[in-house]
Structure 1
Amino acid sequence: MVIKLHSLNEVIDCIVKYLKINLKGIVKKVGIADAVGKYLAEDIRASMDIPPYDRSVLDGYAVIYEDIALTRPESPVKLRVVGNVDVDEFKGYELRRGEAIKVSTGSPLPRNASAVIPKEGCVAQGDYIYVYNPVPPNYGVSKKGEDLRRGELIVSKGTLLRPWHVGLIASQGIPEVLVYEPKACMFSVGDEVIDVGKVFSPGKVYASTTYLVLTYLKELGFRVRFMGFIGDDEEAIVKLLRKSLNLCDFVFTTGGTSVGERDLTVRALRRLSPEVLYHGVALIPGKPMAIAVVNGKLVMCLSGFPVAALAELEVVLKPLLSRVLGMKFFEPRVIGRLGRRLSTSPNMNYLIRVKVSKVGNEYVVTPLKITGSGVLSTLVKGNGVLLIREGSTGVDEGDLVEVTLLSNVEGGGCG
């Protein structure tokens, strides 16, 4: 049996049409301290101006600009100090001409204040200060709403929340936010697969793909329920697929997606009468992947080989989540020169593991391996992936290519 390969765009567009995700079931309200590392499920708008009032950004004296505009070292301006405002005070002072009020960094400014003279920019004597040099209007002043205006969008839906997002949300006094926490069920298929910690024997393989997929999903914010390891048994696979679909909106399997006699996962999936099912995508590595929608829920049957499974998640799952949930994935990229030619078929997509190095002022991209869907070590030996989309017949040595980084780039010497 030959697997018919479908274009990525066709697969993703069709799956999106049939998916009917229950948003209430995948959105959770959490305290902002627990929201970091999760994807925001709502727009957050400013509920107040920041700063909420004009305030000083210096330790010094609040003044009326016109009083000090013409001061000179040879003829300093004398201003009477009529009060003091600390950071946590709001006394409602109103400055008059010829007056100054002592302020600290962060202090609310009195009405009519239009500049702050730094402490070191004047001389204090008793109840007066002497200003020897002028400052520009609004010097040392942070204006109300200068940072944020009430109603302004401050963090958009789908954003991966980092500490600085949380700090910004906290500045609005918001204690909780909605985040995506979709429930996923996952299991691995194959008589040969054994869990880590078990005694190894010939003919067996440790569950590297299982743990790669499991942790990948967790990193995307999924709450994953691992359903276990199952042998090459069609009836057992059908039963576990049904159970998983009753528990979760997303189901992921690894192994059994090719066309051998013992590849039974896709055969079992067909027995569930999916609304749509694709078996075979134009992706290297990852061609035998199957993806379906059953009762509005997503089922992805991933390769049992780790690099192929990763390619399927990167190139298929992420775009789906972006389309359906609006999730925005932070993927640092660099432009570099290809170290050797890559020949590709125009009707295929290729996710190629690469090593990016800094040589002088430019990046050099060295392909590690085009094929070999089980060569997991190339993901660690390399530090990036290069996606060549269908329609291309290859990339020549020396051409500029865009690489998604998986880890840091070393180098930067003269080369």
Structure 2
Amino acid sequence: MRSIREALDAMMPAFTPRPAERVGLLDAAGRHLATDLAVRTDAPAFDNSAMDGYAVRAAELEDAGEEAPVELPVAGESRAGGPPPAPLPEGAAMRIFTGAPLPAGADAVVVQEDTERRGDRVALRFAPKPAHHVRQRGSDLRAGEPLLGAGAPIGPGAIGLLASQGIGELDVHRRPRVALLSTGDELRDLSEPARPGSIVNSNAYMLAALVRSVGAEPLVLPRAGDDLDALTTRVRAGLEADLLVTTGGVSVGEYDLVREAMERAGVEMGFWKIAIKPGKPLAFGAAGATPVVGLPGNPVSAFVTFHVFVAPGLRRMAGDPAPHLAPRPVRLGDPFRHRPGRTQLVRARLEDGEDGPVACLHGRQGSGDLASIAWADALVVLPGERERFEPGDSVAALPLRAARAATPAFA
């Protein structure tokens, strides 16, 4: 039975980035860049003022101060979006506004608060150094320098940056397409009436939502009952996607037929068990370049193992160079005891404590408690070699979503 790390080391090479496709800028949101991009134009594109005030020659104001202002004639103005300003005459100042081009000959800006307008002249009470309040051309970005590298996430900030560079289309990795196959005679769809012994196929909805949450596209296949021929047909259909994920049928029951159906469909299986709780009966294999993951049918086990094993693979397929959940050191808020032997991932909610974040464990950690996965915002990793864990123990938590607060962070 493989450890979690051994299983991931065996699985991740099968999840290769999808080919690039060119999309519009807004359609790239949430995707990963497939190629390196260079700066197209200097930013700022021209020397401009960082403040409202007056453009001047710094050398002409060396003796200016509060008690001895220097008075100069005002030679026109420069405003953002206006006509290009004329060159600044020697011995003069020009009215200038934030973002406006600096006139030729000027090398500094005196902020408006340090001046006094006197008709067509201005008294300047500050001696600026060259480049004072000037945003110089290329001070942020220079043409030809790297802009964003392959693998970079395209979020709102990146979209704003790309738009500022005049980039309206870009090459990103295609979203992975994931076929989801639920197995078992006991399953029924939401639209079907209840029948004795049946349960709603909640895994299909949960996994489709999880697939979308990592930026992939779910394809929910018609569920398959405990029939080998039907299962084989469904598996073959699922292999047309970039990844096939099945739920149920991977343990050792008489009607757990998924393994045989996979073999008949041409899937070469790698392993069937992992030292993890919940989720021990997890299968992995591949048919050619298409990886196949068999998750446990229990919804809690499927939820946990998706986050640990499937989500990183999908992020890698989407071009993400850092696909794994980043562990966060926390302290336990509750005692916990488990049987040694398997690493256990327990559902928890992270809260602020006096000495840092505290993981408050859900009171019911059974694999059938669906309410716990709706409640939890983290999975706490409890090593398999220990039996007892006490409040205050330092452990690692895998946050499942960004932290939010009910009150502002500002005083």
> Which of residues 292, 299, 302 in structure 2 aligns to 1:306?
299
Confirm or deny that 1:215 pairs with 2:203: no
Confirm or deny that 1:234 pairs with 2:228: yes
Q: 1:294, CA displacement in angstroms? A: 0.7
**SS, match of residue 217 in structure 1:** helix
Q: Deviations over 1:1-31 (max 9, x none)?
A: xxxx2223333333344x385833xx33221
Q: 1:174, CA displacement in angstroms? A: 0.7
Amino acid at match of 1:140: H
Amino acid at match of 1:199: P
Q: 1:169, CA displacement in angstroms? A: 1.4
**SS, match of residue 380 in structure 2:** strand
Q: Deviations over 1:163-188 (max 9, x none)?
A: 22211111111111233311222221
Q: TM-score, normalised by structure 2?
A: 0.88
Structure 2: give runs of 5+ residues left out of the alignment. none
Amino acid at match of 1:358: D
Structure 1: give runs of 5+ residues left out of the alignment. none
Q: Deviations over 1:54-96 (max 9, x none)?
A: 2112122111222223212332112222232221246364435
Match of 1:29 in 2: 22
Confirm or deny that 1:55 pairs with 2:86: no
Q: CA RMSD in A?
A: 2.8
Once residues 239 and 108 of structure 1 are traced to their aligned partners in structure 2, the CA distance between those partners, rounded to angstroms, is 68
Structure 1 158/283 Cα, relative in aligned 2: closer, same or farther at 3 Å?
farther
Match of 1:183 in 2: 177
Q: 1:292, CA displacement in angstroms? A: 0.8
Q: TM-score, normalised by structure 1?
A: 0.87
**SS, match of residue 12 in structure 1:** helix
Aligned runs of 1:224-303 on 2, under 5 Å? Answer: 224-245=218-239, 247-303=240-296
Match of 1:104 in 2: 97
**SS, match of residue 28 in structure 1:** strand
**SS, match of residue 229 in structure 1:** coil
Q: Conserved in 1, the CA contact under 8 Å of 2:203 and 2:299?
A: yes
**SS, match of residue 62 in structure 1:** strand
Match of 2:356 in 1: 362
Q: Deviations over 1:335-370 (max 9, x none)?
A: 432123444566533221012222446332122258
Q: 1:377, CA displacement in angstroms? A: 0.8
Q: Deviations over 1:218-254 (max 9, x none)?
A: 1222222221111111111111111221x21211111
Aligned runs of 1:94-133 on 2, under 5 Å? Answer: 94-133=87-126
**SS, match of residue 23 in structure 1:** coil
Bigger drift between 358-367 and 226-235 goes to 358-367
Q: Conserved in 1, the CA contact under 8 Å of 2:153 and 2:320?
A: no
Confirm or deny that 1:372 pairs with 2:346: no
Match of 1:384 in 2: 378
Q: 1:46, CA displacement in angstroms? A: 2.3
Amino acid at match of 1:226: V
Structure 1 363/351 Cα, relative in aligned 2: closer, same or farther at 3 Å?
same
What's the % identity of the aligned pairs? 30
How many residues are matched?
A: 404
Q: 1:216, CA displacement in angstroms? A: 0.9
Amino acid at match of 1:274: V
